[in-house]
Structure 1
Amino acid sequence: MRRLFTATVLLAVGLGAGYFAAQLQPGNHNGDTPTSVKPLYWTAPMDPDYRRDAPGKSPMGMDLIPVYDEAAETEQPGTVAISPTVVNNLGVRTAEVGLKALNPSIKTVGIVQYDEQQLEHLHPRVAGWIEQLFVQSTGDTVEQGQPLFSLYSPDLVYAQEDLLQAVNQENARLVKAAEARMRALKIPESLIRQVRSQRKVQQRVTFYAPKSGVLDNLNVREGFYVEPGLQLMSIATLDTVWVEAEIFAQQSQRVQVGLPVTMTLDYTSAREWAGSVDYIYPQLDQQNRSVRLRLRFTNPDATLKPGMYARVTIAQNQAPVLAVAKEAIIRTGNQNRAVLQLSPGQFKSVAVTLGASDQYYFEILDGLAAGDTVVTSAQFLLDSESSKSSDFLRMASTQARKATEKAVQSAAVMGQVNDVNPADKTVNISRGPIEKWNRPPATMDFTVADNIDFDLLMPGSNVHFVFEIRAGDFVITQVHPMAKMVEPTTQHEGHQHD
């Protein structure tokens, strides 16, 4: 009983799958058999590649299903017609193609850095020795006016003595010149006033922080001998920061200065910072083939610190464009396609050209029009069936496809005319072998194209002719009479089709 039950279930599943596959056959509309159109061939429900020229049984014992020339029922090759029941069972959903305001974004990563436009470097303008250092290490916070270091330098002592001498002489011109020299050496104004009021020279001059910020690049210690040009330290601010990021070269045309940018950190992903593109570097990284960007963010609470790794999203606002939902697009290595609903129950796979995209939509540059309805679910099965007889080949370029179609659908061959019927525009010819199709000699009927002169096809004459396969018919398109023909080993196959 268990084996009988299992066999019954398998048979039911097979019959159901066979019916389902039959409903997806191109040209088979709702299972109705056209009475006025002759089937092209019969195929097995479970194996579309199993074809026969007459009705019969499949290897699994099922009745073969007739397949009709869809050109007799529709002008669009590749149309798949299925019943409403199958559409419902497949869970087919559709969406309309229309104008959408895309917000395509570029995602990349970046490194937080100081805002170099607010970075101030401290250099000595005279040679001397660091007598005392009031700051300890890089990263220390300093306030404007805070003492940083004291310096002993003979040049600073000489500058004070010159001022003191000018003051003692009560020479206003010399006093003004001496003060200008001291300011040029960055001697603080407080020391200049002290020399004039106390008339006393200071051996050590203390220098103060010109601004508030964070100490960076502290390169000296007490006792160091310094000279002009040496960078003693830097003071940076964290009110605003830069983020250095890179994008691919092909994305650079989509980025402009001023575009809004959002940023998150892995360790504080709940928070998002808003900034903008501040600068696009003009040079291209030759090794990575990337373009460097400088992004600017405000940082009032100093959460962002140099060296932090950030995830960046560059937003782009565009005018409405023709777009379709992303799930409607079937993407392959050589072609992008969508399944177009021609009418209820009729579908066709079409090639599309894509433009920009965002999280939900693709821009459509070619292949679809506003108001078209496309399939957004179960489209892969429909695309597979439509592509078998559609007007494009998914793995070939346009030029290669045309060459392939021409090679497959036409042939040139020698033959001997047996019978001519001008009324029906047909002729019976015993043709020679067709090597490229691996077909032996045969005697068969051909249809004659309207541009062919029947006087060239006299019974008993030898001809060299070209024929094409059009909707299952063999149509002669060119004829060249021959004086004599080498006798082919004619194998009569009756009036059969290649």
Structure 2
Amino acid sequence: MNFRLIILTTFSLFLVACGGGNNNESGKSASAQESAVEHGVKHQDSKYVCPMHSQIIRDKEGSCPICGMTLVEKKQKAKGSGEKVISYYRHPHKPTITSKVPKKDEMGMDYIAIYAEESDDSSNVVISPRIVQNMGVRTEKATKSPLWRRIQTVGYIGFDETKLRHVHLRTNAWIEKLYVKSAGERVKKGDVLFEAYSPTLVNAQEEFLNAYRSTSKNLRKASEDRLRALGINSITINEIKKSGTVQQNIKIYADQNGIVSNLNIREGAHVKPSTEILSLADLSSVWLLAEVFERQTDWVKVGQSAEIYLSYLPGNVWEGRVEYVYPSLNQKTRTLKVRIRLENPGEQLKPNMFAAVLIYGGAKNNVVSIPREALIRVGGEQRVIVQVKPGEFSAKNVVSGIESGDFIEIKSGIDEGDIVVTSAQFLIDSEASLKASLNRMSDFETTESDNKKKITGSGVIKSLKPAENKINLAHNPIEALGWPAMVMDFAITQDVSLDDFQVEDKIEFTLIEGSDGYSINSITKISTTQNSK
């Protein structure tokens, strides 16, 4: 009986042992199946990255060679989860300043990488293809190329002052007869302009005739030189020699071709040497006097080519070169006068004509430029509408530079290859502005209800700049922003007073993010008691 009981017990234990072994194997198999997806991740190469400088990547733990921060493990993603795509890079302190490529700010800190899933595109405008077509939206790429400094201005035609002649007598006289009656009359070289009577000229002729009858060559020469010094030309002197008589009225001749630009006397008038009787102007060449705006004064140089257009002769273009740049600006108009000399064989160019001028001021190389019509100027801001992808548009603030014809330089805000909208951009901009305003209102409500998290820090005051609304701090690391300890300037909000603080005070502060970066909106002095604790 006992023997049978022993056999039955032994057999039961054997069955239990076999069943338990099967369960154990099944558990192992299930465990292996559950960790199969994770298995590949565990065996991927571990990477450690600096939280401040994303370009610093190591295969093992350590510290960043730039800022000294401890490297953190870079989380690996399972297959199929997708890689993060960097949308753009943002200034570490000024969120409105962005770049498509990694770069450093003015303090040497790296721009922060903003990934596609992190970028705020809530103010982007999405338009269906049909509406885009109906609106007549046209786009063009921003290009990088030389941009000519073209100065578009206005000017007027003036006399070539090197060919302007003023006629004066060299002694007191009376105008007995005028051969030119009005300004504008054309004369040729050698034409008689007027006749004048002068007692001084009569006496000089008598002395000349007496000397001419003598045998003294020196006396003859001296008396003839006196007549020339008084303004009598060779024609009149030869006539006196031939006739042997004194001419009561002396004829004055034109010594160049031209027109009478000014006629200041009439017959019978008494004149002095200081009296300008008339002026002769030769119009075979003229001056164009152009006015250049003060901001463009550095562009214009002597020798640069220029084109001149006149409204009364549409389609005609006169070419010239900058002959002279005047040294001072007009105090009233704040413009710089530039002189261009033009040949005028047919005398088509008349003095005081109004002209449009285009001066080529040289090229500025490797600049990003867009069509001028794509730039939107609103108040003190400049922006463009950028096509993010077909049917989606975003408004970008930009800083513009020089203008050249139909194109304008963009110094910052967009990069080469960005697609900008050149028509219907004002409608899209209005929609983007409205959407951004609604988003800001929504953010404000969320902030009020959720009590937006504060970014706090501590440090020591190094200098106070109340006039600039700034404070210089040696702050400790700010983990919320990933900033290491450093010395830097912070802007302070209007409600923060610095009256109760001084240099070397230890403080705690809170930061808020604005359009110009992070600003301090509250400061608390750390008391001695707190320090001891």
TM-score (norm 1): 0.59
Structure 2 CA distance for partners of 1:234 and 1:361, relative to 1, 3 Å: same
> How far, CA to CA, are the matches of 2:344 and 2:142 in structure 1?
43
Deviations 1:11-69 (A, max 9, x none): xxxxxxxxxxxxxxxxxxxxxxxxx9xxxxxxxxxxxxxxxxxxxxxxxxxxxxxxxxx
Q: Deviations over 1:227-275 (max 9, x none)?
A: 2111111110111222334343223233333333333333333433333
**CA distance in structure 1 between the aligned counterparts of 2:512 and 2:278, rounded to whole angstroms:** 85
* Match of residue 99 from structure 1: 144
SS in 2 for 1:362: strand
Alignment of 1:105-116 (within 5 A): 105-116=150-161
CA distance change for structure 1 residues 178 and 307 in 2, over 3 Å: closer, same or farther? Answer: same
Q: Relative to 1, partners in 2 of residues 1:339 and 1:108: Cα closer, same or farther, differing over 3 Å? A: closer
Is 2:336 the partner of 1:291?
Answer: yes
- Deviation, 1:180, is 1.4
Amino acid at match of 1:228: P
Aligned equivalent of 1:54: none
- Alpha-carbon contact 1:243-1:296 (below 8 Å) kept: yes
1:171 maps to a residue whose letter is S
Q: Following TM superposition, by how much is the alpha carbon of 1:139 offset from its aligned partner in structure 2, in angstroms? A: 0.7
Contact 1:87 1:345 in 2 (8 A): no
3-state SS, counterpart of residue 316 of structure 1: strand
Secondary structure (helix, strand or coil) at the match of 1:253 reads coil
Contact persistence 1:354–1:366 (CA under 8 A): yes
The aligned residue for residue 379 of structure 2 is 333
Deviation at 1:100, TM superposition (A): 3.5
Aligned-partner SS, 1:195 = helix
AA matched with 2:163: Q
Q: 106, 123, 143: which is aligned to 2:188?
A: 143
Structure 1 residue aligned with 2:117: 74
Deviation at 1:355, TM superposition (A): 0.8
1:174 aligns with 2:219: yes
Structure 1 residue 344, shift from structure 2 partner: 5.4
- Cα distance in structure 2, aligned partners of 1:190 and 1:468: 94
Q: Is the 8 A contact 2:125 2:428 kept in 1?
A: no
Alignment of 1:195-274 (within 5 A): 195-274=240-319
Q: Distance in 1 between matches of 2:168 and 2:115?
A: 89
SS at match of 1:269: coil
- Describe the SS at the equivalent of 1:271: coil
1:194 partner amino acid: E
RMSD: 4.1
Looking at structure 2, the residues matched to 174 and 96 of structure 1 have their Cα atoms a distance apart, in angstroms, of 87
1:364-379 alignment, distance < 5 Å:
364-379=410-425
1:149, distance to aligned residue in structure 2 (A):
1.4
For the structure 1 residues 388 and 203, does the alpha-carbon distance in structure 2 shift closer, same or farther, using more than 3 Å as the test? closer
Q: Distance in 2 between matches of 1:160 and 1:479?
A: 104
148-157 or 369-378, larger mean C-alpha shift:
369-378
Q: Which one-letter code corresponds to 2:411 in the other structure?
A: L
Does 1:361 pair with 2:407?
A: yes
Give the Cα separation in 2 of the matches to 1:304 and 1:262.
14
Between 1:105-114 and 1:76-85, the stretch displaced more is: 76-85
Partner Cα separation in structure 2 for residue 467 and residue 150 of structure 1 = 92
Q: Any idea what the Cα deviations from partners look like across 1:94-152, whole Å, max 9, x if unmatched?
A: 32222334345444433332222211001001122222222111111000001111222
Q: Once the 2 structures are TM-superposed, how far is the Cα of residue 361 of structure 1 from its aligned partner?
A: 1.3
Question: SS of 1:217's equivalent?
Answer: strand
User: Partners of 2:345 and 2:190 in 1: how far apart?
Assistant: 21
Relative to structure 1, the CA distance from residue 161 to residue 346 in structure 2 (aligned partners, 3 Å threshold; closer, same or farther) is: same
Task: Name the CA distance, whole Å, in 2 between partners of 1:220 and 1:148.
Answer: 12
What does residue 20 of structure 2 align with? none
Is residue 183 of structure 1 aligned with residue 228 of structure 2? yes
Between the aligned partners of 2:291 and 2:391, the Cα distance in structure 1 is 48
- Counterparts of 1:150-161 in structure 2, within 5 Å, are 150-161=195-206
Within the alignment, does 1:316 sit opposite 2:361 as a pair? yes
Residue 306 (structure 1) shift: 2.2
Counterpart code for 1:326? R
Deviation string, structure 1 residues 287-336 (Cα, Å, up to 9, x no partner):
33333333433221122222333333334342443212234333322322
Q: Find the aligned partners of 2:246 and 2:385 in 1 and give their Cα distance.
A: 91
Q: Any residues of structure 2 matched to 1:23-62 within 5 Å, and which?
A: none
Counterpart secondary structure, 1:144:
coil
In structure 2, the partner of 1:193 is: 238
What's the secondary structure of 1:254's corresponding residue?
A: coil
Native 8 Å contact 1:78 1:388 kept in 2 = no
> 2: distance between equivalents of 1:273 and 1:467?
63
Contact 1:77 1:390 (C-alpha < 8 Å) held by counterparts: no
Give the letter aligned to residue 408 of structure 2.
F
**Equivalence map 1:392-411=2 (5 Å):** 409-410=452-453
C-alpha distance after superposition, 1:150-179 (max 9, x if no partner): 222222122222222222221111111112
Structure 1's 147 and 384: CA in aligned 2 closer, same or farther, altered over 3 A? closer
Residues 412 and 466 in structure 1, CA contact (< 8 A), matched pair in contact too? yes
Contact 1:78–1:386 (Cα < 8 Å) also in 2: no
> Structure 1: how far apart are the matches of 2:339 and 2:215?
55
Given the two structures, how large is their TM-score scaled by the length of structure 2? Answer: 0.55
SS of equivalent residue, structure 2 residue 237: helix
Alignment check: 8 A CA contact 2:150 2:359 kept? yes
Change (3 A) 1:360 1:246: closer
Paired letter, 1:368: I
Secondary structure in 2 matching 1:102: strand
CA distance in 2, matches of 1:336, 1:101: 22
- Consecutive unaligned residues in structure 2, runs of 5 or more: 1-80, 82-113, 441-446, 457-478, 483-507, 514-522, 526-533
- In structure 1, C-alpha distance between the alignment counterparts of 2:206 and 2:357, rounded to whole Å: 58
Corresponding residue of 1:18? none
Report the equivalent of 2:43: none
8 Å CA contact retained: 1:142, 1:214: yes
Structure 1: gaps of 5 or more residues: 1-35, 37-70, 395-403, 414-447, 452-463, 470-477, 481-498
Q: How many percent identity over aligned positions?
A: 38
The Cα shift of 1:198 comes to 4.2
Distance in 2 separating the partners of 1:241 and 1:167: 45
Counterpart residue identity of residue 161, structure 1: E
Judge conservation of contact 2:305–2:321 (CA < 8 Å) in 1. yes
Distance 1:157 1:239, change over 3 A: same
CA–CA separation in structure 2 for the residues paired with 1:449 and 1:113: 70
